[in-house]
Amino acid sequence: MKERLANFVLAGRLKGGVSIDTVSVPKQLFFLQQKTRMNSQQTILLIDDDARLLSALERRLVDEGYQVLTAISAGEAHAMLERNAADVIVCDNRMPGVSGLEFLGRIKRKYASTKRIILSGNVGAAQAFQAMTTHGVSCVLTKPCDFDILCSTIREVTGHSCEV
């Protein structure tokens, strides 16, 4: 039976504070889950001029099973979209040069099926309303934003589960 098990070392704790070091699962189950995950993997484009935040969000979303692209400006994001399809764009509003709202407004028609989320520390009610009505933004989240809320929002707009 041992030859049919795959061992994995896991870092962290489960809910309730239970820590685990190694878990064994049937190899067939692992490969089935891996195949399903690869087929359903969605791409998130993160745009923020804060490189540390970008890196932290990228790590967490990759851990949740997403493919993640990052850009530190609207120009870099536009070039990224020309080369890669994205299912969701999570964009800061205040960036040097072109604001997040302006960027999302520019790409709305060309990438109409891409879901858009604003994640910003300085979006007022009027801007949030404009983002949702004019630029097709699905949700406006304020910084600092709890990762679970961001993940839940991505799950809601895509119908994809963050938990793999």
Domain ranges of the chain: 1-39, 41-158
User: What is the per-residue pLDDT for 88?
Assistant: 95
pLDDT > 60? residue 25: no
Model pLDDT for residues 70-126, shown as the tens digit of each residue: 999 999 999 999 999 999 999 998 888 888 888 998 888 899 899 999 988 877 787
Return mean pLDDT, the chain: 76
User: What phi and psi, each to the nearest 5 degrees, are found at residue 52?
Assistant: -70, -45
User: What is the per-residue pLDDT for 160?
Assistant: 57
What is the band of 133 on the pLDDT scale with cuts at 50, 70, 90?
Answer: confident
Non-local CB neighbours of 28 within 8 Å, separated by 6+ positions: 4
What is the band of 164 on the pLDDT scale with cuts at 50, 70, 90?
Answer: very low
User: What is the per-residue pLDDT for 78?
Assistant: 93
CB-count exposure of residue 109 (10 Å: 0-12, 13-18, 19+): exposed
CATH match for 41-158 among 3.40.50.620, 3.40.50.2300, 3.90.550.10, 3.30.428.10: 3.40.50.2300
Degrees (nearest 5) of the Cα angle 145, 87, 55? Answer: 45
